[in-house]
Amino acid sequence: MKFLRTIHAEDMEDIATGGAILGTGGGGDPYVGKLMAQQAIKQYGPVNLVDIDELPDDALVVPVCMMGAPTVMTEKLPQGEELINAFRALEQLLGRKIDAVLCGEAGGVNSTTPFVVAAMAGLPLVDGDGMGRAYPELQMVTFTMHGVSATPMVLCDDKGNSLVLETVSNAWTERLARAATVEMGGSALLAFYSMSGAVAKKAIVRGTLTLCSELGRTLREAKAGHVDPVNAIVDKLEADVIFHGRIKDIERRTVGGFARGTARFEGVEEWKGHSFRLDFQNEFLMAERDGEIIVTTPDLITVLDAESGLPVTADALRYGLRLKALAMPSNPQWLTPAGIELVGPRYFGYDTDYREYFAR
C-alpha cells in the first residue's frame, strides 16, 4: 500500500490547529486529542496516512470518535485505552479484522482521536472524514446519506462501562448514545459506521486530514514569516472574512449535553459601525450581519483571533475579544436535499432556509 505521508508526534501540532479551524467553534478542544495522539505515536510508532483509493473495495474501514459536550470534555481527560477498547470490541463483534481507521469528524478533538487508534492498532488512517468540519450529532455524517448504518456501535466510558447499540436509524443511534454519554459524565468514546472500502470511496469527505495539516502549517509559517495569519488562512481556504469586531455580549446555556448560545459583536476598523451575531450549538451555525442572515450551516463559520489567527471555540468566546469571522464553503454533499435535511438551519431549530453565500 502506498502511503500519502507518515505522521510523527510533532506533526500533530499542525493537525490539531487545522482541526480547530474546521471545528467551526465546536467539536471539542483538539488540545486534549493532540496530547493523546502524541503519546500514542511515541509509544506505538507513527501513523501512515492513506488515500481512500489505495484501499481494496472489500477492505473493512471503521471510524472512531469522542462524543460529548466540549464544556464537559475539558475537565475530563480521556485515555487512549477507551478509544482502542471501543475499536477492538467492534472488531470482535464484526468478526473480522479491521483494515483501516477513519476519522468521523475532521473538526475539533476528533481530528486527532483517530491517530490514537491508528497508532495503537498499527493500522493506516484514511485521509478524509464524514463531515469536512465538526457537527454536534452523530447522524450528521455524509455516511448517513450513503445508507451506512451507525450501528453496530460500541461506546465506552472512562470507568469501564461499555454498550453496544443496534438501532433502526442513525438518528436513534444519536439519541441513545447521547443519553448514555450524558449519564456517563458527559463524554464517551465510540467506534461505529463500519463500512467497506467501496462505500468509503463514495461516502467520505476526502483529504480533510491533509487539509487540517496544511491549515496548521499555514498559520505557523505566517507567524514565522510575519505575514497576516488571518489573510494566509483566507487564501488557503478560499474563505471570506465576514466580520471583524469585538464581543459585546454573550449568552450561553447547556441543553441535553450541548453548549448553545449567541454571541453579539460590534465592528472595528473596516467594520466599524456594523453589528454581527453568531448562533452556536457546539458549532457556529448561523451568522447575521447588521440584522441580516448572511451565512448558515452547512457552510462553515469559523472565528479567528484577529491578531494571532488562532481559532477560537464557541466555548472560549469572552466579552471584549477582538475576532475575525470567516465563512468557508461546505463540502457539496451537504448541499443536496438530504444534506440540508440532516444539517440545514431548520434541523437546528432556526426558522430560516439555507442561505447561499458562495457562488458555485
Tell me the C-alpha distance between 181 and 257, whole Å: 8
Q: Which of 1, 77, 179, 255 binds its own copies (CB under 8 A)?
A: 179
Shortest distance (Å) from residue 137 CB to its own copies: 14
Q: Which of 79, 92, 161, 336 binds its own copies (CB under 8 A)?
A: 161
Query: Of 58-77, which residues contact its own copies (CB under 8 A)?
Result: none
Beta strand pairing status for 47-50 and 125-126?
parallel
Q: Which stretch binds its own copies (CB under 8 A): 25-33, 62-70, 177-185, 332-340?
A: 177-185
By CB atoms closer than 10 A (0-12, 13-18, 19+), residue 62 is buried
Q: Is 227 a binder of its own copies (CB under 8 A)?
A: no
Tell me the C-alpha distance between 336 and 269, whole Å: 37
Q: Is 162 a binder of its own copies (CB under 8 A)?
A: yes
Tell me the C-alpha distance between 118 and 165, whole Å: 23
Q: Is 166 a binder of its own copies (CB under 8 A)?
A: yes
**152 vs 344, which CB is nearer to its own copies?**
152
Helices (H), 95-152: 113-121, 142-145
Tell me the C-alpha distance between 252 and 298, whole Å: 22
- Read off φ and ψ for residue 342, nearest 5 degrees: -75, -40
Q: Is 165 a binder of its own copies (CB under 8 A)?
A: yes
**4 vs 176, which CB is nearer to its own copies?**
176
**166 vs 356, which CB is nearer to its own copies?**
166
**113 vs 167, which CB is nearer to its own copies?**
167
Is the Cβ–Cβ distance between 262 and 277 less than 8 Å?
yes
**184 vs 232, which CB is nearer to its own copies?**
184
Q: Which of 53, 183, 221, 307 binds its own copies (CB under 8 A)?
A: 183
Q: Is 225 a binder of its own copies (CB under 8 A)?
A: no
Structure-block grid coordinates of residue 334: 451537504
Q: Which stretch binds its own copies (CB under 8 A): 35-43, 108-116, 179-187, 278-286?
A: 179-187
Alpha carbon separation from 180 to 88, 126, 175, 185 (Å, rounded): 20, 28, 9, 9
Q: Which residues bind its own copies (CB under 8 A)?
A: 159-168, 172, 175-176, 178-180, 182-184
